[in-house]
Structure 1
């Protein structure tokens, strides 16, 4: 049986494991964290589109498990916040939005528990790989077992880089690659209100946002915007984008732990911008964190020999079209279909078709998300004046702001019917 080694056990890596196992491959996932998330508030919220829901359900022993751990997002609403009067007014509303809201840790746990045992090697730090013997179609991967310090070698037929937007595997092939800073960062947090459902804060936010539990809210103010929606198990997820110069990224992360002074300053700024009900939620959220928002210009190539990129390693993106997780899940499904179609003897043909299918889709989505983020943040875009929510009209805004205008929003085939390049 052909063997694939996947570097990275986040949602992109774990999704790829599911897809490749279904395609008949032996799979190992190397993940540096020492154990799976267990009931912790790891990560934040995400939205799953209908195709991702369908794909995930095909990987689960009981399809209803996905619905049991997510909430519906049937409405996509943009509203304008008047920061002086502290009121919000609806701008655009799409009531046929068919997403599901998930907490990162819940979705990860669902996918992890549905895998066969021993697929993920926890506490294994990827070190390097070698394709020197690639005439035999193999790749040699070195990893450190963090518990013992031992360095081990694993030989596989395919190496899948699911190691995120700062991918070290991608850097091997694209040494000059650099992420592009968006011009803004994001404060993020999840408020667990399961033990205080009747508090003044929760009753107030439910009055101010009457469709919580089924609506993806975007609050737009001058030069900033906030995303707000409910998650399963009485949690509220919020993201607040703030324009600022590029910070200094330390280490292999675009997430920053913040000081109490930074949180205090953020709370003071929130008071100036958002309605009081939202500010209370922000202030009562424990351990908010800061994301630096990056993307990259679309890559021209996402595989080399028997090494392939998936997820954020293949297409770093800003979060504005809820694409990152959805693109990762679809990457996994398409890669699995291609490997199953061509068989283990023709890995390069499989990867050629995977690239042929995914690059046009992800490239357009990354660039659309970039533009949408700049519009909502009031930043310069080439073909329009900076967006001012106070003067925005509903008709003009529908074209720009609604999620359903994302390229390939509802029509992404798992495999394109067009013929693939003759080089295969």
Structure 2
């Protein structure tokens, strides 16, 4: 860029992992970045929240954004095995291995820890906390735009001028609603009870000794137990925590507010515990009972979009492609979106913004669309729901070939590295 040229400005709506990943890559590409986030303060690490799995490409990209790449390894645990079991109901709850992949090479992280790791590497002044995106208008030549936002603490309306608007505001994206107001989320047919058990102060308790005996490779294995029209996920997180998810088929619940999670009453939790006793091994049920503040996540995705770019507006992360969690894709897609967008902007320069955004869309749209649809298929498979052209999956009678469909590595583009960022990855 010529020294006399003005540095281009990007406004990112959303300060979650997708948004702060974009901040890293756009700053590296030479852009000024500001992040608009309606939460009033940065999230802090806690024992509640959600776990996630980072694939090898995401690990490499995150390390390239950190001043000390080893901090990612210090704040995550290795997941080298992807294993699926069949579980039987009744008095004797037996488990048998359906499929096992020992070359998984993911890492487990707590969402808040990963967010904090990325957030702390960014200049604090780029964040506008407690600001709600309202609308935007384009200049006559479409070269820039004016974004309006509400300061939640004072109700003041402010305006921000930017050359690029990045919608990283999640599956209920207000930016997307501007263009497609009737394009809704699609309910999957099931919800998930979720929780994180912090056992840092009682790691020798009967519950922890028992769960380690029942699941002896905790600390390196991503476990799936499949029952009758239900399944659970279990894996260990850093700092002596266990992440668990229990998927249950049910009609779509009525949500309150702008969220896909539900707070639960004590009576709902007690009923969940009783149901778990009927379905799962007692060691897992005890983990559920000792978890503080479990919550319900209503599982949605969306049919793939036909575009991710409108003039100077681009979508990333769950705003672009909300997906069910069965392929461990949501965070990984967000990180890769950010990396590709940054590389496209760097390659084409600010004078060729439309070419940069067109290339971003051409690289990411086919990949994310297929991954959303495959994650949807995997969810229906593991939940025993209707499948196209075949009977619902039954883990108790499934053939070995059928069981291979359960593996994470079957997702399209599982090991794909876009040419744009291949050089970046190899330099780490």
TM range (shorter): over 0.9
Q: Which residue of 2 aligns with 1:420?
A: none
* TM-score between the two structures when normalised by the length of structure 2: 0.95
Question: Number of residue pairs matched?
Answer: 415
RMSD (Å), alpha carbons? 1.2
Q: Which residue of 1 aligns with 2:115?
A: 108
Q: Which residue of 2 aligns with 1:95?
A: 102
Q: In the alignment, is the contact (CA less than 8 A) between 1:330 and 1:414 conserved in 2?
A: no
Q: Tell me: CA distance 1:206–1:42, structure 2 relative to 1, closer, same or farther (3 Å).
A: closer
Distance 2:103 2:45 in 1: 32
Q: Which residue of 2 aligns with 1:422?
A: none
Distance 2:311 2:421 in 1: 22
Q: Deviations over 1:12-70 (max 9, x none)?
A: 00101101001000000011111112232453000000000000000000000000000
Of 388, 393, 409, which residue of structure 2 is paired with 1:404?
A: 409
Q: Which residue of 1 aligns with 2:201?
A: 195
Q: Tell me: CA distance 1:93–1:290, structure 2 relative to 1, closer, same or farther (3 Å).
A: same
Q: Which residue of 2 aligns with 1:290?
A: 296
Distance 1:147 1:169 in 2: 22
Q: In the alignment, is the contact (CA less than 8 A) between 2:48 and 2:196 conserved in 1?
A: no
Q: In the alignment, is the contact (CA less than 8 A) between 1:333 and 1:414 conserved in 2?
A: no
Written as runs of structure 1 = structure 2, the 5 A alignment for 1:130-169 is 130-131=137-138, 133-169=139-175
Of 60, 63, 72, which residue of structure 1 is paired with 2:66?
A: 60
Q: CA deviation at 1:409?
A: 0.3
Written as runs of structure 1 = structure 2, the 5 A alignment for 1:263-412 is 263-398=269-404, 400-412=405-417
Q: CA deviation at 1:268?
A: 0.9
Q: Deviations over 1:349-402 (max 9, x none)?
A: 11111000000000110000000000100000102211111112334311x100
Q: In the alignment, is the contact (CA less than 8 A) between 2:343 and 2:421 conserved in 1?
A: no
SS of the equivalent of 1:83 reads coil
SS of the equivalent of 1:118 reads helix
Q: Aligned pair 1:86/2:93, yes or no?
A: yes
Distance 1:114 1:233 in 2: 21
List alignment gaps of at least 5 residues for structure 2.
1-6, 423-428
Q: CA deviation at 1:252?
A: 1.0
Q: Which residue of 2 aligns with 1:16?
A: 22
Distance 1:38 1:343 in 2: 36
Distance 2:307 2:94 in 1: 47
Distance 1:377 1:415 in 2: 37
Q: CA deviation at 1:416?
A: 9.2
Distance 1:209 1:42 in 2: 22
List alignment gaps of at least 5 residues for structure 1.
418-424
Q: CA deviation at 1:415?
A: 3.1
* TM-score between the two structures when normalised by the length of structure 1: 0.96
Q: CA deviation at 1:289?
A: 0.4
Distance 2:362 2:351 in 1: 19
Distance 1:267 1:73 in 2: 28
Q: CA deviation at 1:161?
A: 0.4
Q: Aligned pair 1:181/2:187, yes or no?
A: yes
Q: Tell me: CA distance 1:236–1:416, structure 2 relative to 1, closer, same or farther (3 Å).
A: closer
